[in-house]
Amino acid sequence: MFSECLVFVLLLALADASVTPCDVVVYAPHKSGSMFIHHYFQEFANVSNFEHFSENYDPERNSDAFISSTAPRKIMAPIRAQPGKLSVNENSRVVVHYRDPRDVIVSSYYSFGYSHVAPPVTSPNYEGFMNMKKHVQSFTLDKYVMKNRYHIKDQMEVVSSYLSDLPVSKNRIYVSLYDKMMNNFSDWSNDLCRFVQLPSEMCPKIYDKAKHHAVSAREKPLDVTHMEFKTQEASENAHVRDGKSGQYLSLQPETLKHLDDLVGPTLKELTKLLDLYSVVSS
């Protein structure tokens, strides 16, 4: 069943990696559901007898341990990496998990500026974290998006060029959509299991074990009551992880026009590719 089990799961970030047959490697940048991906593939590994590695584990189970492991079936989920090039061969099965970069930028503003919990005051990372938070808070949402607008375009181009250049046949490529993962988890999970060629009887087991993580991520408001804020609009205090698409539509009309002018042609071409690969091929 896993005769062709070199599977790469890429979430907007692509990086150099060294893998062996029967590995599952999950690339998940911040703000694309990377913590949920950790939980989901943890359950996936439990059901399918993969050994699970993750950057959310201690050093004995992180990416370095994954590379050196001799386990016959292993999964690294997630790796949060900077854009780069990942080599795959014609026998690879490739899943590209996509969240609209315009929503990623909006989410990053609220998270990095307001909702992320600070490390302990005694941590060597505390000062840098607080400086980053204050820096983000010095911008309004629209000004933050305008400052990072070229990053939005870059992310779209990375995914578009990668999908176009993959050296594999169409039926070995699958685009997993963040919005579907958050809003129609059952179908998302079943499609992913089917694409990876997991036995059908195992799919409900993964769904039952992981669905509470999806519900929590979709419905639980961010607890910001304990944090110190500068004066800000109520919308910033009230930000919740609702999992809905189109969060960028809350931007001012002039900001939206700047984004449309910048990413319009790139988004048009990318949408064609997303539509082409977002259905699991037989």
Give 20's pLDDT tier (boundaries 50, 70, 90): very low
Q: Which of 219, 240, 237 is nearest to 228 (CA)?
A: 237
Residue 14 pLDDT: 43
Average pLDDT in the chain: 75
Of all residues in the chain, the percent with pLDDT exceeding 90 is: 19
> For residues 233 and 278, what is the distance between their CA atoms, to the nearest angstrom?
37
Give 135's pLDDT tier (boundaries 50, 70, 90): very high
> For residues 85 and 13, what is the distance between their CA atoms, to the nearest angstrom?
9
- Could you tell me which residue, 75 or 112, shows the higher pLDDT? 112
Give the three-class secondary structure for 195. Answer: helix
- Amino acid occupying residue 205: K
- 176-199: average pLDDT: 83
Q: Within 10 A of 259 (CB to CB), how many other CB atoms are there?
A: 20
- 253-273: average pLDDT: 92
The radius of gyration of the chain from alpha carbons, rounded to an integer in Å, stands at 19
pLDDT at 118 over 50: yes
Residue 2 pLDDT: 35
- 154-163: average pLDDT: 83
- Could you tell me which residue, 187 or 231, shows the higher pLDDT? 187
Distance separating the N- and C-terminal Cα atoms of the chain: 14
